[in-house]
Each structure stands twice: as structure tokens, then as C-alpha cells.
Structure 1
Amino acid sequence: MFLVVLAVLLIAVVVSPLGQGQAAVGTYKTAALSTGFTAGYSTMDALAALAFGIIVVNAIKQLGITQPTAIAKHTVLAGTLAAGLMGVIYALLALLGRNALGVLARADNGGVILSNVAHQYFGTAGNVLLAVIVVIACLKTAIGLITAFGDTAKEMFPHVPYQGVIAVATLVPMFFCQRRLDRLLSVSTPVLMALYPFAIVLILVGLLSVMFRQHRWLFNLSLLFTAVPALLDGLNATGLQASWCISILKIGQFLPGFSAGLGWTVPALVGAVLGILCDQLSSRKNNSQ
């Protein structure tokens, strides 16, 4: 349903462009890749992938596939299809925003852009269409998040009533949803800047670990070396001007990419290399014994 209603808007964008766009400004002109990369944190796709993984695996098991290798194969196929579709959607959304420049004024966030573009194409009906898109998009995400949260909580704390966990996970967001998107982003961005590096490193290390018999050091050192730079990136994103904050952030100036919010990349790579070496040494020691 989400793809169908979203396609109505995106097809209009492709068939009848609003304009030819304008030149990029600010960091999107001078550092488009790093700016787009860190701005993508707000989608929470990587965090959601870690949370939704249990749903995908359980769904595959319910189809009668029980062998671990077969589950892994079908998970990769499902993930590849999802990544391809998301790539198409994001590319078309980028085209939507680009073509709107010059016809519509620049906006503070994507929600305003979508609202203006939908209204420009379809008038009042466009507002209704966008409302349907947002409701279904949020509903499908909420169902996935609440289900994943409930399943994980049930596994970790089997004595806690599942219905109670679901009730809390459903009611708490009702408080936050009363805030404007700008306000939510101002709060969530620093948190995401701190958490997202862990998610990215965890995913990449998880994929890399299949190449090694032992990978305890790989996980530990990669995440350990990511920790401090990630926390510095999160602190930097708060925009605090307190003296103690400025003093702490001076540490980050020694990290490549820190100004772009990517100060964690080099330390994470160093940690991964050291982890691989330690795992290799540990493996050789065990073999010799």
C-alpha cells in the first residue's frame, strides 16, 4: 500500500518535472557525500535493520525454511531486494527535491518539501495523498518497531508480560508525536550521530566476521575504537557552546573527517585491523595447542 500511494507522487515527479532545479548550496555544495551520508542517519534505516532482522528471520522460518544456511541465503535475497527498492525511492525523492527548487522556496526539512510538492501537483487532493503516504509509512514502521521490541523483550525478559511491553511501546510514542519535526530532529540528531557509527560498524564487522574462524577481538576492538569518536560526534552535533564542551571537542580535531561527523571512520578501521590481527594470533595459538 505504501509503495502504491508513494508511486502516485513519484510518477508525477518523473513524468511532469516542476523545474530544472538550482545549484546546491552550503555543505551540499562543498561536501555533498559526507553531508548526505550523515543526513541519512535520520532515516534510521541501519538501526531499523538491526531491529527488524528478527522479524525477517522469523518470517522465513514460518515459511518452512529451517536450515541456517538457507535462512541466511533468503535473508540476503530479501535484503538485496529491499535495498534496491529503497535506492530507487531515495533517488526519486532526491529528484523531487531538486526539481522543486526554483519553483518552490527552500524548506527546513523534507516534510515541508513533500507537502509543498504534493500540493503543487494535486492541490488539496495532494494534501490528502501525502497524509495517506505519511500514515501508512509511519504505521508500517511502528508495527515493525513495536513487534521487534516486543519479541526482543520477550526473549530477554521472559517473565515480563508481552502485552504490557507492547502497551508501553505503543503509548510512549504518543507523547513524542505531539512535537514538531524540527524539534524532534534537534533532539534525535545528536543521539543518532552517537549511535549510528556503532550500528554501521556492527553490520560491517558482522559481514566481515564470516571470513574468520575466531572474531571475538574483531568485534570488541572495532566497537571499542568507535566508542569515543562516536560520542564526540554526538556531542558536536548538539551545538553546545559551553567551555567544557569546547574543551572536550578539541580532541576530535585530531580525527580525520570529524568536522563532517565522520570522525569515527578511521579509528573503527584501525580497531578492525587490530582485531583481525589479534584473532589470527589467537587462532594460531589455539591450533598449536
Structure 2
Amino acid sequence: MNTENQQPKLTFIHYLTIGSLLFGMFFGAGNLIFPLHLGQLAGSNWFPAAIGFLLSGTLLPLLSIIAISITKSEGIYDVARPIGHHYALIFLILVHATLGPMFATPRTATVPFELGFAPYVSADHKWIWLLIYSAIFFTLTYFLSRSESHILDVIGKLLNPLFLILLFIIFLFAFLRPMGDAGQAAINTDYVHAALTNGFLEGYNTMDALAGLAFGVTIVTSIKLMGVRNPKSIAAATTKAGMICISFEALIYLGLIVIGAMSLANFKLSENGGIAFGQIANHYMGAVGSAILATLATVTCLTTAMGLVTAFAQDFHKQFPRISYLAFLRLTCLISFIIANVGLTQIINWSLPILMLLYPLAITVIFLSILSPLFKKSPIVYRFTTLFTVIPALFDATNALPPISNQAAPIQALIHFASSYLPLFNLGFAWIPFALIGFTLGIAAYLLYSRVPSLSLNAELKAKQK
């Protein structure tokens, strides 16, 4: 008898619990501050900007989860494996370094500190308080993430409800007593004619499409702990839970974007969304608002940090099994603590060029994974598409370097060349036409190989050798 059929049927409560796990890991530091800042930048053009942000901030993460399901993968390495072992390993390391100890995970500590604590300490002693706060933050993250089997219970059943209650309080004040009319708010120059595309690029900062690929192993593990073993059932459960997660996210994003636009009636355009959120909370609730905001940010960022360090430790332990899960967990928490003390501004400035490189590669591998049944997961389609994507993505990354770096003569020469000869470069999407060309060539090569038996056999032998 087939034991795969003897498994529990998941109920809506199960899907809600898994969706809550995803939501808790997705919604963190950037998810709070970037939508607010987008609202301030877009002003009365907030709606097209919101559409762009939702496409990259919610749709792409959902598609990344679906890609994990369709390919029956358990993480970043499996999804990128058709391109080649070495590429998949490099891609895994780059994504996890970005989501982990280099950028996203340190940001989970610096954002709540900047929102709720930095305004109340002197500039001279700020670094000491950040050191103390980040040490406590990552110590908690480590101990709460030690047991893989308890992640679902800790995140989904305990911390998420508290986060939602605190966020609801902020929303209640903002919409019952709006500071101004979002439809009359001033528009930043970049958002007058390109609100949709700039909103899409702003969604990169959440890093959720990358996180969706990284969290796949955690989600699959959690579903298996519920007794589900059949791959098709796991894929279906992942997709349904993902829909619940991104629906909640989309509503919160819209609310934050509108609040950001309305805040322009009282405040000038802020340097970042963290400052904006602090101003809004103080406007409505004074010191109490700051305390709530600090708690809110700490709770949501703690859940995200747990998801990030867990995914990092699980994936690296899988690739390097001689090193234990707990050793990798300690490593990522320690490095994240060190980087966090560089400060939020520097973390954001240096993460953008990396995201401009990684996001096009992630988007293409997500769509290739979803479409893979059409071309039998042929490596040649993956490789052509990736090769044609990475070159313009490197130019986009160069253009996004901080001012201290991109003003050098060689960098300016590269930017001038790309601006003159690469379509859509000035919008930040030079990679799209090249990716389409690569995909088309890859499909043509796949069809040629599949129709000529000798070529097809030769290609398979080369793929196995790699």
C-alpha cells in the first residue's frame, strides 16, 4: 500500500499557521520603512508607485515560493542547480550573505534601534547603546532559533499576533486622524513620470524575493512536521499558505504607503522611512508612540532575523554537513552583530548595488523554475538566460554604487556607455530585454537539441559531467 496517501489532510488552520510563519519571516525591517518612504517620495502618485512596489514586494516573493514548489526544491541551491553546480553554490553564498550577515540580518537590529532608541540617546554615546542593543537582539535570535522543530510555534503562534496588534494601533491613529490628503501630496521629481518603475525598484529593498528562495527549506520542513510527505501535497500547501501571507502583506504595504503620502502635510521628505515612522508615531502618541514603535519594530525584526539565520544555517549545513547547524547559526549571528554596528545608513547604501545585481538573477531563475516543465528543466535554457542577464545586471549594480564610489572616472565611463547603448538602463531594467533574448536563444537551442538525437545525447553527457 502507498503510504504517501496515508497522511493528514491540512485544514485552513494549518494553512493559516504556515502563512503566519512566512509572514513573520518576510515582514521585517525593510517592510516597515521602505513603503513609508515610498509614499513620501511618490506623494499623490502613490497608487502607481504602490502597484510597482506590490509587484516586486509581494508577487515576486509568492512566485519564488511557487518556484520552490514546482521544482520540488528545498532551497536556493536546488533552484539554481540546472545552471551548474558551481554557479548554484556561488548564487547560494551571495544570496545568503545578502540576506544574512552582510545586509538584511544586521538591518533587523539597526532599524528598531534607529526607530525607538536612537532619538533618546546622545550622538556621542549612540554607538555604545547600539552595541548593547544589537548584542541583546542577536543573543535572543540565537537562542530562539536553536531548535529547528520549534520555529513554527515560536514565530507563528506567539510573536505574529503581538506584532499585528501593535501595527493595528499605529494604523488606527493614522487613518482616524489623517495628517493630510494623500491625493494632494507633493511628488518627488523621480516619481512624476516613473512612479510605477521606481516603486518596483523600491521593492528590491525588502529582499523578499530572495528570502522566498531561502525560506523554502524552512517551509518544506515545517509542512513535513505536520505529517505531509507527498511532494505534490507539499507544493500545494506551500502555494496556498503563500497566498495567505502575501495578501496580508499587500494590505499592510498599501496602508503604509498611504500614511507616508499623508505625512507630507506635516513633515518634509525624510532621509529614510525609519525617520518618517518615528515622526508619525511621535505626532500621534508622543513618547508612548515611540515606545510602541520600538516594541513593534523589535518584535517584527526579531521574527525576520530568526527566519534569516535559520535559513542560512540550514542551507549551509546541507552544503557543508561536516559543520553543524548550530555552528553556522552562531557564525551568522556573530557576523550580523558586528556588521550591525556599522550603522543603518551604511548598510542601506552598500546593499543597493548588490540587490541590483542579484534581483535580476533571482527573477530569471524564479520564472525559469515556474516554466521549467515546458522545456523539461533543460540546463541550456537556464544558462543562456542567465548569461544574457548577468552582464546588464552588472552595469545596473555599478550605477547603484554609493556616491563615494561611483564618481570615479572608470565607473562614470561604464555608466555613460550603458546609458548610451543599453535599452532601459536609465530605468534600472537593462537586464529585461537581454534576459528575453537569452531565454529565446535557450529555447531555440533546446528545440534543436531535442530534435537532433546526437546533439541531445552529447548535451546530457556534458551536463552529467558538470
When normalised by structure 1's length, the TM-score is 0.94
Query: Which residue number corresponds to residue 283 of structure 1?
Result: 450
Task: Report the Cα distance in structure 2 between the residues aligned to 1:211 and 1:12, rounded to whole angstroms.
Answer: 50
Query: Which residue number corresponds to residue 179 of structure 2?
Result: 18
* In the alignment, structure 1 residue 244 sits paired with structure 2 residue 407: no
Q: 1:197·1:230 contact (CA, 8 Å) conserved in 2?
A: yes
Of the candidates 186, 194, 198, which is equivalent to residue 357 of structure 2? 194
Query: Which residue number corresponds to residue 314 of structure 2?
Result: 151
Q: How does 1:252-267 map to 2 (within 5 A)?
A: 252-253=418-419, 254-267=421-434
Query: Which residue number corresponds to residue 101 of structure 1?
Result: 264
* In the alignment, structure 1 residue 41 sits paired with structure 2 residue 226: no
Task: Report the Cα distance in structure 1 between the residues aligned to 2:263 and 2:453, rounded to whole angstroms.
Answer: 62
Task: Report the Cα distance in structure 2 between the residues aligned to 1:6 and 1:221, rounded to whole angstroms.
Answer: 45
Q: 1:214·1:283 contact (CA, 8 Å) conserved in 2?
A: no
Task: Report the Cα distance in structure 2 between the residues aligned to 1:177 and 1:137, rounded to whole angstroms.
Answer: 17
Task: Report the Cα distance in structure 2 between the residues aligned to 1:133 and 1:280, rounded to whole angstroms.
Answer: 53
- Provide, for residues 191-250 of structure 1, a one-character-per-residue CA deviation record: whole Å limited to 9, x for no partner: 111111111111111111133324322211111111111111111111412221122223
Task: Report the Cα distance in structure 1 between the residues aligned to 2:449 and 2:336, rounded to whole angstroms.
Answer: 46
- Provide, for residues 236-273 of structure 1, a one-character-per-residue CA deviation record: whole Å limited to 9, x for no partner: 11141222112222342222211121111111111112
Query: Which residue number corresponds to residue 102 of structure 2?
Result: none
Q: 1:209·1:218 contact (CA, 8 Å) conserved in 2?
A: no
Q: 1:209·1:215 contact (CA, 8 Å) conserved in 2?
A: yes
Query: Which residue number corresponds to residue 166 of structure 1?
Result: 329
Amino acid at match of 1:20: D
Query: Which residue number corresponds to residue 396 of structure 2?
Result: 233
Task: Report the Cα distance in structure 1 between the residues aligned to 2:422 and 2:180, rounded to whole angstroms.
Answer: 41
Task: Report the Cα distance in structure 1 between the residues aligned to 2:377 and 2:217, rounded to whole angstroms.
Answer: 24
Query: Which residue number corresponds to residue 74 of structure 1?
Result: 237
Task: Report the Cα distance in structure 2 between the residues aligned to 1:211 and 1:2, rounded to whole angstroms.
Answer: 42
How far off its partner does 1:277 sit?
A: 2.1
- Provide, for residues 91-123 of structure 1, a one-character-per-residue CA deviation record: whole Å limited to 9, x for no partner: 111011011012122101111111111111111
- Provide, for residues 53-105 of structure 1, a one-character-per-residue CA deviation record: whole Å limited to 9, x for no partner: 11111111111111111111111111111121111111111011011012122
How far off its partner does 1:13 sit?
A: 2.3
Amino acid at match of 2:254: A
Task: Report the Cα distance in structure 2 between the residues aligned to 1:138 and 1:17, rounded to whole angstroms.
Answer: 27
Task: Report the Cα distance in structure 1 between the residues aligned to 2:284 and 2:342, rounded to whole angstroms.
Answer: 28
Q: Are residues 221 and 11 of structure 1, via their aligned partners in 2, closer, same or farther at CA, if it must alter by over 3 Å?
A: farther
How far off its partner does 1:31 sit?
A: 0.9
Task: Report the Cα distance in structure 1 between the residues aligned to 2:344 and 2:187, rounded to whole angstroms.
Answer: 23
Query: Which residue number corresponds to residue 64 of structure 1?
Result: 227
Task: Report the Cα distance in structure 2 between the residues aligned to 1:200 and 1:111, rounded to whole angstroms.
Answer: 28
Query: Which residue number corresponds to residue 126 of structure 1?
Result: 289
Q: 1:225·1:271 contact (CA, 8 Å) conserved in 2?
A: yes
Report the identity percentage: 35
Q: Are residues 209 and 11 of structure 1, via their aligned partners in 2, closer, same or farther at CA, if it must alter by over 3 Å?
A: farther
Query: Which residue number corresponds to residue 275 of structure 2?
Result: 112
Task: Report the Cα distance in structure 2 between the residues aligned to 1:88 and 1:281, rounded to whole angstroms.
Answer: 46
**Stretch of structure 1 that moved more, 216-225 or 142-151:** 216-225
Q: 1:17·1:99 contact (CA, 8 Å) conserved in 2?
A: yes
Q: 2:369·2:377 contact (CA, 8 Å) conserved in 1?
A: no
SS of residue in 1 equivalent to 2:238:
helix
Task: Report the Cα distance in structure 1 between the residues aligned to 2:451 and 2:172, rounded to whole angstroms.
Answer: 57
Query: Which residue number corresponds to residue 342 of structure 2?
Result: 179
Task: Report the Cα distance in structure 1 between the residues aligned to 2:435 and 2:314, rounded to whole angstroms.
Answer: 30
Query: Which residue number corresponds to residue 6 of structure 1?
Result: 167
**Stretch of structure 1 that moved more, 91-100 or 264-273:** 264-273
CA RMSD in angstroms, aligned pairs only:
1.7
**Stretch of structure 1 that moved more, 115-124 or 269-278:** 269-278
**Stretch of structure 1 that moved more, 143-152 or 22-31:** 22-31
Q: Are residues 285 and 80 of structure 1, via their aligned partners in 2, closer, same or farther at CA, if it must alter by over 3 Å?
A: farther
Task: Report the Cα distance in structure 2 between the residues aligned to 1:191 and 1:38, rounded to whole angstroms.
Answer: 13
Amino acid at match of 1:241: Q
**Stretch of structure 1 that moved more, 173-182 or 255-264:** 173-182
Amino acid at match of 1:123: G
How far off its partner does 1:182 sit?
A: 2.1
Aligned residues: 289
Task: Report the Cα distance in structure 2 between the residues aligned to 1:17 and 1:204, rounded to whole angstroms.
Answer: 40
